[in-house]
Structures are given as structure tokens and as C-alpha cells.
Amino acid sequence: MSRLQTTLLPPLLAVLFAALLCSIALLISGDNPGAALAVMVTQLGAGTTAVDVINTGAVYYIAGLAVAVGFKMKLFNIGVEGQFRIAACVAAIVGGLLPLPPVLHVIVILLTGMLVGMLWALVPALLRAYRGVSEVISTIMLNAVATGVIAWLISPAAFGFVQGNNISTPPIAPTGHFPGIDLGPSGTIFGMVFVAALLGVGYWFLLGRTRFGFELTASGESPTAATAGGVEARRMVLIAMLMSGAVAGLIGLPEVLGREHAYTLVAPQGYGFTGIAIALLGRNHPAGIAVGALLWAFLDKSALALDNIGVPREIVLIMQGVIVLSVVVAYEIVRRYAMAAEQRRVAAELRAQQQPVAEGAAT
Amino acid sequence: MAAALLAGALVMTGCARDTGAAGGGGSAGGEACATGTAPSGGAAAAPTSAAATKPDASSLKVGVAYDIGGRGDQSFNDSAYAGIEKAVADFGLAEANVKELTAAPNEPEDAAATRLRQLAADGYNPIIAVGFKYATPLAKVAAELPNTQFAIVDDNSIDLPNVTSLVFAEEQGSFLVGVAAALKSKACHIGFVGGVDVPLIQKFEAGYTQGAKAVAPNIKIESKYITPAGDFTGFQDPQKGNVVATGELDAGADVIYHAAGASGAGVFSAVKAKSTPDSPKYAIGVDSDQYLTADPAVRDVIITSMLKRVDVAVYDFIGAVASNNLGALPKIFDLKVDGVGYSTTGGQVDDIVAQLDAYKNAIINGSITVQSTK
């Protein structure tokens, strides 16, 4: 099998398997899988759904990249959730309070988000690098701390601003809005979608084409070997964790800069955890993560369309769960199959080479 | 009367007594906090929600977008549905012409907007959005669809001709149950458990505190929220509700009022567990008459509930749309229109109804103004 096949086959198999399993679940619950599938496809033409898939896909893509940077170094940054939320909140406050000229305003908000995300990841990074504290534990705990700090930041006693029963950070002036592509009734594509794409290119170049990327991956694969090769693993832990936090700091900003123009009480949560699933799905590869992010966003929006025709939307959760699990299994199966095929091929070639020799010996 | 007051004074310990006009305290003894300052007032104003002729809603298709939890939350989504049911019974609204969709937890704004657009695209008009989280998406969708009537529960920030706000004076209803708590407390020490520390729930606390202090100015009030703003699990976590309520009971409070949605079940079980025949503890429910909806095992500790009549608001809205008379809807559903109130099921506040109604009338006629913030 070619390399392309071994990369593309497993996720395809996983999606098909998930679809099959969900069809069975739908049949058991008395719903029509065909109708469900039809609605999932036709929803893309309704309202702003197609644009929403792209916008949410961009958010998920950044989240996937943030997690993947850590994965490359074998770091499990579960704190992406807390890092992104506190970064979005502080960036929105800074953006709302500072009167700045256009362009610069947006840049300041973006940089603030990255800086805050990085700072929120700094404590687990230092603890991991110098004290060996598991980043899984420390980042999870900081997620809870972030919730408390955000609650204070958006309270009217601090920077909050009551609108009816909702609270939000001070609204960002139009100079701080990231312009998008207005498609009229089909919605507006966030300008941040392109920033997300650029981020993917940067990720690919930095990790795949630079010495730094090689050192990072090497330290992740084998810290001892990397150390022997002159790479300081401790420094790599710090850098990987901080990079992960900085990217995480951007996750909330497509919505803050492109739609809400503030961080509110009802701001969405859970993108950090979704990012973990998407990084797994995409095998930490920038293109794979992009496909995973779009698929995930598409399934999320499908939940609304399914709900609308009376199919339980929980079917989408089942599907997402099955996809992640089966993609892991499918990669393993395909890997073993490819390895066996490789062995057979090599064995056959060896036999073919030995044959003439054997014949020569017989004569 | 004098004997009753004397008896009241004898059991009272630790409470500074506001020796104002005598009027309350005329019921059974044991009201350690009562200071007898219930205002005197006339009969309650008649509710104005009932229209003269019944509107005909048989041609309406009503869409409902619920907040997280949806039907079965024993809280305000269910209350909204009760309004729909009543409209089906009274206005000839066809059950098949009602469509309900429910929000998912932590969803982004575009999901809420899509839900509203789906209902509109399927021809539902009017559409009722339950919960203030719909405010921003509704403002967007309602502007796109000027020919569809919308209503939103718990928000009045949208200024569009086709959006009706259904908001409530939660602080007024909470004031009355605060009065009840102070009258029923033997320790002169009561508690409040809020679900999530947000402005909406702070209104409940503010009203409750003012009501209790109107009865007993020096009453001790424990006040805790289950989760901080932004973490909405505080409305769905009975275990945490139990822990918080137990903490307040241990601190000495003997009447606990909750505004914590489904977490309230934990508050009730905590009160039930700490209640003994010698020192009874009481709980006060919220939104609907929880004596009727809570677990039967804990019902006997629920003395009353603060009623937030989302059902009345939804019912009135459908009626107003059917009779094309949206202007007649109250700007705010308060005590005057029975948009908020208290329940008496179980008979445990029957002895103080006279005082509660006196306060109620004082609020309605404006001699008491209840603040919505602390």
C-alpha cells in the first residue's frame, strides 16, 4: 500500500464505520437513517449553516493545532480549554478599553490573547520542566481556576457590563473588529478563518521544515536520545507548552473579533476539549487537523438539523465518539496490514533473488 | 392579640425588635423573628391577564426554542411548556402546530440563531425563545425576518417591533418568600442558595433579603452561590446544592430558599436530612410550585415556592398574538398581574397568609419598593 493509502484509508474507514453504527442506532430507535443523512447534507444549503461550518471549523482548527503542538512533544495539554477562555476574556477587555486605530487595534487584541494563553500555560510548563509535575493534572486544575478568574473579570465590580440579564466585557469599538467576507443571507465568513489557515501553514513549516521542529519531535520521541544529540529536553518542554498556550489564546478570538465583539457570560465553552479529539483525528498533521475540524464542525451543525426533524441530536455525539475511537483502531489495523504486506513483498523479492542462485547451485 | 404578641416576645431571642405598628404576629406562636410590621392593605388587585373574549389561536403555528435542559427540567422550560398546554386547552391551538427545540449546553451563538431560523423557515409564527442567552441571536434573526413575531423570556434588551419581551419582577416574589422565611424562622437565621452567580439570580437574592429584613431588620442571612458566573453547572448539580445548603444549615440557618434550578433537589434533601421534630428546618422552592413537583419524600419541608409565572407570560403572549393585541401585554410580569407570587400548597404558610398578602398589597400599591439589586 502506498503512503497515501495508509494515511487516508483509516479515517475514511472510521467515518464509514461510525455512519454504519449510527444507522443501526437510528434504526433501533425507530428513525430513518436515510432521511437523517439527507437532512445532514441539505442543511448546508439552509440559512447560514455552510458559513457556520467554516467559521466553527476555523475555531476547531486553531484548537486542534494548539493541542497538536503539545502532542508533538508528548505533552498532553488539557489546559487548552482554560487557556483559550481566559485569553479570550482578557483580550476582549483590553480590546474594549483601549481606543486604538484600525489594524493596530486588532493586532493588539490578537497579541494579548496569545500572551495571556502563554502565561496561563507558563505555570504548568515550569512545573513540568523543573519539578516533573504532570501537565495533565496542573492544566486541568488551572481550567477550574480560569473559570473563577473569568467570573471575577466579567463581574460588574471589575470590568463587566450588565445588559439585561447578561454580562459582558466592554464592547470592542469597530476599529477592533476583524472584517469578514459578507455573503448576505448566507452569513459572514470570519476574517480569522484565514489567520487560522496561515497558522496551519506556520505549524507545518515550523515543525516539519526547521531544525527547531526536528528537535521538538525528537525530544518528544525520546528525551534521552535528544539529550544525547545535544538538545536540551527541558527547554523543549517549556517552548512546546508555551507555544501550545499561545495558539490556544487565539481559539476564542474568531468569535470575539468577528461576531460578538465582547466576551459574554454565555460565551461558548469546550473548544479546548474538542481540540484534543480533532488533534487525535488529524494525527497532528496540519492537513489532517483541517479535515477533522471541518468534519467536527459539520457534525455539530448537523445536530441542529437533526433535532429539527425530530431525530435525537445525541446521535451526533455517538458519531463523534465512534469516529475518534475507530480512527485510532483503524490506524493500528492499517499499520499492521501494511507491515504484513511489506513483509510479504520483501519476502517475495528475496525469494525471487534467491531463486536464480538456488537454480545456479543445482546445475 | 396582646397575648399573642407577648408569646411572640417570649420566644424571641437575639433579634432586635422593630417596635413599629402592630398588625402581624396574630397567628400561632413560634415566629421568633416576627416584629409585627406587616403593612395593612386592602384586597389584592384582580389579575389583569385574562382577556374578555377568548382569543382564537387555531390557525397559529407556535415555535418554542428552549434553554438548556428543555422539557422536563422542572423549572422554567417546563413552566413555558405549561403555558403552551394551557393555550392548547383554552385558545384552540392545535398540538400538532407546536414545535419545540432545545438548546445544547455551551453552544456558540450561531447554533441558537440557526434554531430560530429553522423554526421560522418551517412557518412557525410566533416563535418563543426561552432564556436570555437567545438575546443576541434573536436580535439578529428578528431583524432578518420582520414578518415573524418573536417573544423572549428573561430579556428586555431587544428593541424591535416584532420582538416582545417577557420579563419578570423576580425580586417582588422573592420579597414575599423572604417575609415567609423570616416569619417561620425560629433561630432568626435564614439562608439563600443561588445556582449561578449571575445578575438574574442576584435579583432573587436581593428581593429575599429585603423581604426578610422588612420583617426582622437584624435577621442573619447566609447567602451562597453554587458556581461562579460562566459555569452554568450550578443549575444542574443537586449534589453541590446539597453541600451548599448543608453548610448554611450547619451555620445555623433554619429556612433555606433556593434559586438553583435542578440543583434545588439537593437543597431540599439537605433540609430534609437536618430537620427533626424538635427543630424543624424548612425549604422554599422556586419558579413553579415545587411542593407538587419535588420528590414526595422531601415535600413536607417545602413550606412555599416563589412562583415565576413563565406559563402565564407565554399563555398571555399566545393569546395576544391570536387576538392581534400585543400592546395589551404588561411590560413586566410582576405581582400586580400575578406574574410572580408564592404558593400555598401543603398548608404550611396558611397561618401567615394574611401578613404575606399585606406585604403583597403594599408592593402592588407602591408603598414598598423592592430593589432588584443588593
pLDDT tens digit sequence for B95-109 = 999 999 999 888 999
For chain B of 374 residues, list the mean pLDDT of each consecutive stretch of 10: 43 42 40 63 50 80 92 83 94 94 90 95 95 94 95 94 96 96 95 95 96 95 95 91 97 96 94 94 94 92 95 95 92 94 93 94 94 86
End-to-end alpha-carbon separation of chain A, Å? Answer: 38
Q: Given B114, B132, B155, which is nearest A49 (Cβ)?
A: B114
Q: Quote the minimal CA–CA distance from B300 to chain A in Å.
A: 33
Contact state of B111 with A304 under an 8 Å Cβ cutoff: yes
Which has the closest alpha carbon to B174: B82, B328, B73, B287?
B287
C-alpha span between A107 and A112 (Å, rounded): 8
C-alpha span between A213 and A225 (Å, rounded): 15
Contact state of B230 with A151 under an 8 Å Cβ cutoff: yes
Report strand pairing: B150-153 vs B163-166: parallel
Q: Does A52 touch chain B (CB under 8 A)?
A: yes
C-alpha span between B232 and B170 (Å, rounded): 19
Q: Tell me, what's the pLDDT at B25?
A: 40
Mean pLDDT over residues A134-142, rounded?
95
A20-61 tens-digit pLDDT: 999 999 999 888 899 999 999 999 988 899 999 999 999 999
> Is B124 in contact with B150 (CB distance < 8 Å)?
no
Which residues of B are less than 8 Å from A302 in CB distance? none
Contact state of B133 with A166 under an 8 Å Cβ cutoff: yes
Q: How confident is the model at residue A202 (pLDDT cuts 50, 70, 90)?
A: very high
Residue B224, judged by CB atoms within 10 A of its CB (0-12, 13-18, 19+), counts as middle
Which residues of B are less than 8 Å from A312 in CB distance? none
User: Is residue A295 scored above 90 in pLDDT?
Assistant: yes
B-contacting residues in A 89-128 (Cβ below 8 Å): none
Q: How many residues does chain B have?
A: 374
> Is B196 in contact with B229 (CB distance < 8 Å)?
yes
Q: All domains of chain B, ordered by start, with CATH?
A: 62-168+311-322 (3.40.50.2300), 170-308+340-364 (3.40.50.2300)
End-to-end alpha-carbon separation of chain B, Å? Answer: 35
- In 10 A of CB B36, how many CB atoms? 22
Mean pLDDT over residues A234-257, rounded?
95
Where would I find the H helices in B163-309? 170-184, 199-215, 238-250, 264-274, 290-293
Q: Is the dihedral of CA B134, B135, B141, B145 positive or negative?
A: positive
Mean pLDDT over residues A248-257, rounded?
97
Q: Given A55, A165, A268, which is nearest B199 (Cβ)?
A: A165
Contact state of A265 with B110 under an 8 Å Cβ cutoff: no
Which residues of A are less than 8 Å from B122 in CB distance? 308
Angle A244-A249-A253 from CA coordinates, rounded to 5°:
140
Residue A232, judged by CB atoms within 10 A of its CB (0-12, 13-18, 19+), counts as middle
Q: Which of B118, B152, B196, B331 is the best residue to mutate to test the A interface, defined by the most A CB atoms within 10 Å of its own CB?
A: B118
Q: How confident is the model at residue A8 (pLDDT cuts 50, 70, 90)?
A: confident
Backbone angles phi, psi at A6, to 5 degrees: -65, -20
B12, three cell numbers: 424571641
The lowest-confidence range among A70-79, A176-185, A190-199, A215-224 is A215-224
- Nearest C-alpha in A relative to B156: A164
What pTM does this model have? 0.88
> Is A315 in contact with A272 (CB distance < 8 Å)?
no
Mean pLDDT over residues A291-307, rounded?
94
Instruction: Please state the ipTM of this predicted complex.
Output: 0.87
Q: With left for phi above 0 and alpha for psi between -120 and 50, is residue B53 left, alpha or beta?
A: beta
> Is B155 in contact with A165 (CB distance < 8 Å)?
yes
Q: Does A166 touch chain B (CB under 8 A)?
A: yes
Q: Tell me, what's the pLDDT at B66?
A: 95
Where would I find the H helices in chain A? 3-28, 33-42, 49-72, 80-97, 104-131, 135-153, 192-209, 211-221, 223-228, 233-248, 253-255, 271-281, 286-308, 314-362
Q: Tell me, what's the pLDDT at B230?
A: 87
Mean pLDDT over residues A188-205, rounded?
96
Per-domain boundaries in chain A? 61-293
The residue that leads in pLDDT, A5 or B206, is B206
C-alpha span between B183 and B24 (Å, rounded): 10
Which residues of A are less than 8 Å from B121 in CB distance? 46-47
Which residues of B are less than 8 Å from A148 in CB distance? 228
A66-78 tens-digit pLDDT: 999 999 999 999 9
User: Is residue A85 scored above 50 in pLDDT?
Assistant: yes
Q: Given A46, A49, A164, which is nearest B132 (Cβ)?
A: A164
- Nearest C-alpha in B relative to A264: B230
Mean pLDDT over residues A103-132, rounded?
96
Mean pLDDT over residues A106-131, rounded?
96
B186, three cell numbers: 425560629
One-letter amino acid for residue B96 of the chain: A
